[in-house]
Amino acid sequence: MPIRDFLDYTPVIADNVYIDAMALVIGQVNIGEQASLWPMVVARGDINSISIGSRTNIQDGSVLHVTHDSQFYPGGQSLVIGEAVTIGHQVTLHACTIEHHCLIGIGAIVLDGAIVKPYTLVGAGSLVPPGKVLEGGYLWHGSPVKKRRPLTEKEISFFEYSANHYIKVAQQHQA
């Protein structure tokens, strides 16, 4: 079963979410309407919470995790992913915030306390260091990321297209 309780925590999943049979969702995870988690995705909300917004898609092999409360990180850090976000293949998101209408490119890593503002494109293979705040409306790329250029209107419109496209593909998989 790809959905598991952890201690007293049960994942909360909207009725029309697609979770592939090869994905794994554990514990304090809340998944909004029409979201999708594809093969080999792990959303491990064991030591803090994960929130995945409506119409967001998490692509194959991505790892979602959090930071626990400790003397080194008082209060810990949850993972928050907004609405209409595309998380590319093999992305690692660790205790960060991805706001609405973003695309996180294939193989990117976003670390603890980082914030990706709305309408941001994080390029494939990029590293967003702990605590970094990425201004929206730009392409950020590199390791560590640097602001490269403003997004075009076409790139901005792709965020909505991608969200809608993956809703359709998820519905086809569910049929």
% of the chain at pLDDT higher than 90: 97
Per-residue pLDDT averaged across 3-15, rounded?
Answer: 97
Structure confidence by residue, pLDDT tens digits, 107-122: 999 999 999 999 999 9
State the residue range of the domain holding 43. 3-174
Give yes or no for residue 38 having a pLDDT over 80. Answer: yes
Tokens of 146: 């640097």
Number of compact structural domains in the chain: 1
Inter-residue contact 44 to 37 (CB < 8 Å): no
Q: What contacts 81, CB < 8 A, 6 or more positions away?
A: 50, 51, 52, 53, 56, 58, 64, 87, 93, 97, 98
pTM of the full structure: 0.97
Closest CA to 145 of 161, 122, 162: 122
Query: What sign has the CA pseudo-torsion 107, 20, 10, 56?
Result: positive
Per-residue pLDDT averaged across 41-49, rounded?
Answer: 97
Alpha-carbon distance of 21 to 3, in angstroms, equals 9
Alpha-carbon distance of 89 to 106, in angstroms, equals 5
Alpha-carbon distance of 31 to 55, in angstroms, equals 10
- Where residue 58 sits, what CATH number does that domain have? 2.160.10.10
Tokens of 170: 């998820």
% of the chain at pLDDT higher than 70: 99
Structure confidence by residue, pLDDT tens digits, 135-163: 999 999 999 999 999 999 999 999 999 99
Give yes or no for residue 1 having a pLDDT over 70. Answer: no
